[in-house]
Structure 1
Amino acid sequence: MRRSRQRIRVAFAVIVVFLFAQVIWWVVFQQQYIHRTVQQTTQQWTQEAELAQLALRNTTGQARAEILDRIAAQRAHLNVNGDLVSVNPAALEQYRDRQERYLRMFAYEVPFFLLVMLSGLYVIALSVRSDFELRRRQQNFLLAATHEFRTPISTLRLLVETAQYRELSREKQLEVLERMNNEVSRLNDVSERVLATARLEQGMAAQGMEERDLNAVAAHILEEQRRKLEGKGARISLEVADAPLFVNLDPSAFSIVLGNLLDNAVKYTTTPEKPVTVRLEAQSGRAVLRVEDRGIGIAAHEIPHVFDQFYRVGNELTRTAKGLGLGLYLVRGITELMGGSVTCDALETGTRFTVTLPLTRVPAAQGERKPRDFPAAHPVRES
């Protein structure tokens, strides 16, 4: 891919150089052409004046009058003074001015022409760059997917062989089964994420829309994921709004949204304690859900790309954080299918993701948010 990109850069450089050379040649050619045309016209008019003067000297009477009439009608650029015929300076100057106007017109067109051509090349370059970037992300995705599938499968094979060829106590059997269940859950999560991406691409990721209280939905999702979150060392603080936040959503699809945000939040918090805060409130006719962590954060230049498909920071061969680069892509896609939006903000320590959904009912006046604590852990920054 690097060689291909280098070849394209060289091709673009050659095109730009050729374009500038062509424009310079065109301007120089026009200057020379107009200068040559003015010289030729001046010589032609001078020759016409000499011939007309010779004709007048050798004719009299009616023939002379006819020559004078013809000069007046067809040779306005000539002056006649008795037997003397000369080029009209005003006509010659007017002709030169007209040719110079053409030259100025060409000169003014050159910057516009260059701007259009360079703009077109710039758009093409952006498109090519975007295509290469997508291909790089897809390669990273394949590497990550290979790792995400191979690791639990290898672990499962080892656990199965352990159970087959060793005499295990009941306690050890339960431990092996628990580990096998964890690996199966991991495989299921990866598969579900890939399938959810396929459904999102077809606009089928949020089909079971119904009116629900976002407070209750968020609390239910956190309760469902409590065990997994606790296993990763996270402590989730849920602050629900005092009044119900009724919105239209697909509960199962929204579970993917909140689950991915929690997953990222925990994944990129490296401290032993992984505090994550989930806040809900109503603002300007919209329900707002914020997920804040105290992790490693996201660089400002990465924020515009974190919701892109397959986007992950760094190289897949050296990256330590797990993931496929689909989590935040699903968060944005599913949220938008439900009529909402999601944003990312870098905090002084950590990151905040904000999901908004339109309210279907105006909530009553709210008091203080009610906090709930959920020890847990789950992943963020999956781009």
Structure 2
Amino acid sequence: MRITRRRPAIIFFIALGVCLVGVAIALNIGWIILNWRRDWPMLVGIPFFLLLIAGVVLNTIFLVREVRRNERHDSFLNAVTHELKTPITSIRLYLETLQRRVLSEEQRQHFYSIMLADSERLLATVEQVLKAGEVGQRARNQVRVEVDMAELVRHCVETTLLQHHLAADTISFTASGSPLLVRGNPDELQTAVMNILNNSVKYSPHGLRARVRLAPEGDAWIVLSVSDEGIGIAPAHLKRIFKRFYRVPARQVLRTKGTGLGLFLVRSIARQHGGDVTAESAGEGRGTTIRLLLPRLLEHASPSPLE
């Protein structure tokens, strides 16, 4: 609804910019016609009008970007509000039920497990928002150590299966090549891998089938590839999904709640470690592959501060 209301504003600013550019061009042509025989007005007037046109175009682009950024901020606030309010409401409801009614021990344990899951969801949302605010600020003060990516990814896969109550064969994991070491911050790298896996779970509404592969790429890089058979991504959005607050404007995606920070964190962490992340998809409904690229550490090294 908010996006729909913002579209007239974008159209207005674009139309206004086009009109102003048209007026500026008309004035420029009139100036040239009136002063084409005089050198000094021509030398001063033409650059001035070109600067005026460039300023109008840049101002229009800036305004449209600001409107779109505000749209993403609104979507983020709505998503965070939902992600915070839903588990809090659920926990409160079960607490009121426990307070007002006499329940069997089995029912009480069932309620406790639900409240614990809701509290973990609430904590995960808060941590994601906090990490997004901290990203880039602690990079200079981090101490990086040798990290075994095979062990880290295996742990993340097991954690994902446990958190989402998935069967063991839901996610297949293979690691080829040895050693698969990087120098980095283990907590940050785990956050990146967990966000990729959680995205696969979140956007596979008809059941997750994911393939996780970790392998070296030459001598310089390690590549983590996570492929699923979920709702997929249209080609136009493959690069945008790594922007802060960005969510693909597709019906299936909008039905799935999220903050729009997960892949932004993945990209930020990857780049802080000297790597990058990319997304591949054949289109909507045809699954997605996320590739995390990290510099490979070929020799064992002692901990060293990030320069």
Q: TM-score range by the shorter chain?
A: 0.7 to 0.9
| Secondary structure class of the residue paired with 1:209 | strand
- Which of 44, 61, 80 is the matching residue for 1:145? 80
Separation of aligned partners in 2, 1:240 and 1:211: 18
Whether 1:360 and 2:297 are equivalent positions in the alignment is yes
Query: Would you say the 8 A contact 1:215–1:245 is kept in 2?
Result: yes
Code of the residue aligned with 2:209 in structure 1: it is: P
Separation of aligned partners in 2, 1:353 and 1:118: 42
Q: 1:289 to 1:232 in 2, by over 3 A?
A: same
- Which of 303, 307, 324 is the matching residue for 2:242? 307
The 5 Å alignment of 1:280-295 reads 280-284=214-218, 285-295=220-230
TM-score normalised per structure 2: 0.85
Give the equivalent residue in structure 1 for 2:277. 342
| Secondary structure class of the residue paired with 2:242 | coil
Structure of larger gyration radius? 1
Code of the residue aligned with 1:161 in structure 2: it is: E
The 5 Å alignment of 1:211-230 reads 211-230=146-165
Q: 1:226 to 1:205 in 2, by over 3 A?
A: farther
Separation of aligned partners in 2, 1:206 and 1:177: 40
Give the equivalent residue in structure 1 for 2:17. 12
Whether 1:162 and 2:167 are equivalent positions in the alignment is no
Q: 1:206 to 1:225 in 2, by over 3 A?
A: farther
Separation of aligned partners in 2, 1:219 and 1:307: 24
The 5 Å alignment of 1:237-248 reads 237-248=172-183
- Which of 202, 210, 226 is the matching residue for 1:276? 210
Identity percentage of aligned residues: 30
Separation of aligned partners in 1, 2:132 and 2:147: 24
Query: Would you say the 8 A contact 1:232–1:266 is kept in 2?
Result: no
CA displacement, residues 278-304 of structure 1 (integer Å, 9 cap, x when unaligned): 101111211111111111110011112
Code of the residue aligned with 2:20 in structure 1: it is: I
Give the equivalent residue in structure 2 for 1:209. 144
Provide structure 2 residue ranges, at least 5 long, that are not aligned to the other structure.
1-5, 301-307
Code of the residue aligned with 2:204 in structure 1: it is: T
Q: 1:253 to 1:262 in 2, by over 3 A?
A: same
Provide structure 1 residue ranges, at least 5 long, that are not aligned to the other structure.
35-98, 364-383
Question: How far did residue 246 of structure 1 move?
Answer: 1.1
Q: 1:199 to 1:280 in 2, by over 3 A?
A: same
Q: 1:204 to 1:192 in 2, by over 3 A?
A: farther
| Secondary structure class of the residue paired with 2:154 | helix
| Secondary structure class of the residue paired with 2:260 | coil
Code of the residue aligned with 1:25 in structure 2: it is: G
Separation of aligned partners in 2, 1:208 and 1:329: 22
Separation of aligned partners in 2, 1:298 and 1:185: 28
Separation of aligned partners in 2, 1:347 and 1:15: 41
| Secondary structure class of the residue paired with 2:73 | helix
| Secondary structure class of the residue paired with 1:310 | coil
Separation of aligned partners in 2, 1:232 and 1:113: 68
Question: How far did residue 172 of structure 1 move?
Answer: 0.8
| Secondary structure class of the residue paired with 1:135 | helix
| Secondary structure class of the residue paired with 1:210 | strand
Code of the residue aligned with 1:358 in structure 2: it is: P
Separation of aligned partners in 1, 2:156 and 2:58: 44
- Which of 15, 23, 26 is the matching residue for 2:28? 23
Separation of aligned partners in 2, 1:207 and 1:300: 36
Give the equivalent residue in structure 2 for 1:94. none
Separation of aligned partners in 2, 1:335 and 1:247: 12
Q: 1:213 to 1:206 in 2, by over 3 A?
A: farther
Give the equivalent residue in structure 2 for 1:65. none
Code of the residue aligned with 1:270 in structure 2: it is: P
Question: How far did residue 28 of structure 1 move?
Answer: 1.6
Question: How far did residue 268 of structure 1 move?
Answer: 1.2
Q: 1:174 to 1:206 in 2, by over 3 A?
A: farther
Give the equivalent residue in structure 2 for 1:323. 258
- Residues 222-231 or 135-144, more deviating: 222-231
Question: How far did residue 231 of structure 1 move?
Answer: 4.5
Query: Would you say the 8 A contact 1:257–1:330 is kept in 2?
Result: yes
| Secondary structure class of the residue paired with 1:220 | helix
